[in-house]
Chain A
Amino acid sequence: MAQTSTMSITLNVNGSDYPLQIEPRVSLLDALREFIGLTGTKKGCNQGACGACTVLVDGNRINSCLTLAAQYQGVSIQTVEGLAHGGTDSSPSEELHPLQSAFVKHDGFQCGYCTPGQLCSALGMLAEYKNGVPSAVCETVCNQPKLTNEEIRERMSGNLCRCGAYNGIVAAIEEYAGKDFMDNKPATREGAR
Chain B
Amino acid sequence: MTLLKKVMERVLQFTPEKEPDPLIGEGKYIGKAMKRVDGVLKVTGQAQFTAEYKFDNIAYAALAYSTIAKGKITTLDTADAESSGGVITVITYKNAPKIGKPALMDPSGGSSGAMAADIPVLQDERIYWNGQPIAVVVAETQDQADEAVSLIKVEYEEEKAVVSFESELPNAKTPKDVLGEDPEVKVGNAEEAYEKSAHKVDHVYRTPRYNHNAIEPHATIAHWESDEKLVVFDASQMLYAFKNTFAKMFLIKPENVEVLSPFVGGGFGGKGSMWQHSILCVAAARAAKRPVKLNLSREGVYRIVGGRTPSVQHVALGANQDGQLEALIHHGTTQTTEYNNFAEQFSFPARYLYNSKTFDIGQKVVHTDTLANTFMRAPGESIGTFALESAMDELAHEMNIDPIKLREINEPKSDPLRHIPFSCRNIVQAYKVGAESFGWDPKKPGSQSDGKWRVGQGVATAYYPYYRFPGKAKAKIFSNGTASIQAAAHEMGMGTATVQLQHFADRMTLPIEQVSMQYGNTSLPESPMAGGSNQTASLGASIEAAVTALVEVCIKAANKSASSPFKGLHAKDVDIKSGGIYGKETDVGCSFVEILKLAGVDELEAEGASGQPFEMLKHSMHSYGAQFCEVRVHSETGELRIARWLACFDAGRIINPKTAESQFRGGIIMGIGMALMEETIYDDRYGRVANPSLAEYHMPVHLDIPHIEIKYLNIPDEHAPLGARGIGEIGITGAAAAIANAVFNATGRRIRELPITLDKLL
Contact = CB atoms under 8 A, between A and B. Distances in A.
The answer to whether any beta carbons of A and B sit under 8 Å apart in the complex is yes
B215 A52 contact: yes
Interface string B245-258: 00000000000000
Contact of B705 (A111, A163, A164): A164
Contacts of A190: 451-452
Contacts of B43: 80, 96, 100, 103-104, 109, 112, 115-116, 119
A45 B693 contact: yes
Interface in B423-469: 451-453
A16 interface: no
21 contacts: A39-B48, A44-B215, A80-B43, A80-B45, A81-B44, A96-B44, A107-B35, A107-B659, A107-B661, A107-B662, A109-B42, A110-B494, A113-B216, A152-B702, A153-B705, A162-B268, A164-B668, A165-B662, A167-B707, A191-B634, A191-B637
Q: What 8 pairs between A and B have smallest CB-CB spacing?
A: A40-B45, A110-B493, A113-B265, A112-B42, A111-B493, A164-B669, A4-B85, A164-B666
Q: Is the interface of B mostly helix, strand, loop or mixed?
A: loop
Contacts of B39: 103-104, 109
Interface string B634-661: 1001010100000000000000001101
A116 B45 contact: yes
B594 interface: no
Contact of A191 (B41, B48, B639, B701): B639
A140 interface: no
Interface residues of A, number: 72
A3 B86 CA distance: 10
A40 B44 contact: yes
A114 interface: yes
Given A45-B695, A169-B702, 8 more contacts: A2-B147, A23-B143, A44-B216, A92-B46, A107-B658, A111-B493, A119-B43, A193-B632
Interface of B: 35-36, 38-49, 51-52, 54, 83-86, 141-144, 147-148, 212-217, 263-266, 268, 295, 297-298, 451-453, 491-495, 632, 634, 637, 639, 641, 658-659, 661-663, 665-670, 693-695, 699-703, 705, 707-708
Given A47-B695, A107-B661, A42 B215 contact: yes
B197 to A, nearest CB: 40
Interface stretch (A29-37, A126-134, A175-183): A29-37
B661 A115 contact: no
A170 interface: yes
A168 to B, nearest CB: 6
Given A164-B705, A166-B669, A170-B702, A84 B35 contact: no
Given A42-B216, A42-B265, A110-B663, A33 B52 contact: yes
A44 B45 contact: no
B180 to A, nearest CB: 29
Contacts of B491: 111
A153 B703 contact: yes
Given A46-B297, A104-B35, A162-B268, A40 B46 contact: yes
A54 interface: no
A125 B526 CA distance: 45
Residue among B43, B141, B142, B297 with the most chain A CB within 10 A? B43
A113 B215 contact: yes
A3 B754 CA distance: 48
A75 interface: no
Nearest to B298: A45
Contacts of A81: 44-46
Nearest to A135: B703
Interface string A64-81: 000000000000000111
Nearest to B85: A4
A41 B493 CA distance: 18
A84 B40 CA distance: 10
Given A44-B694, A167-B707, A190-B452, A4 B214 contact: no
Residue among A2, A39, A84, A150 with the most chain B CB within 10 A? A2
Contacts of B42: 109, 112, 115
B701 A34 contact: no
B142 A30 contact: yes
Contact of B694 (A49, A80, A167): A49
A83 interface: yes
B641 A193 contact: yes
Interface string A125-159: 00000000000010000000000011011101111
A164 B671 CA distance: 10
A112 B47 contact: yes
A41 B637 CA distance: 39
Contact of B215 (A38, A47, A160): A160
Residue among B85, B264, B493, B668 with the most chain A CB within 10 A? B493
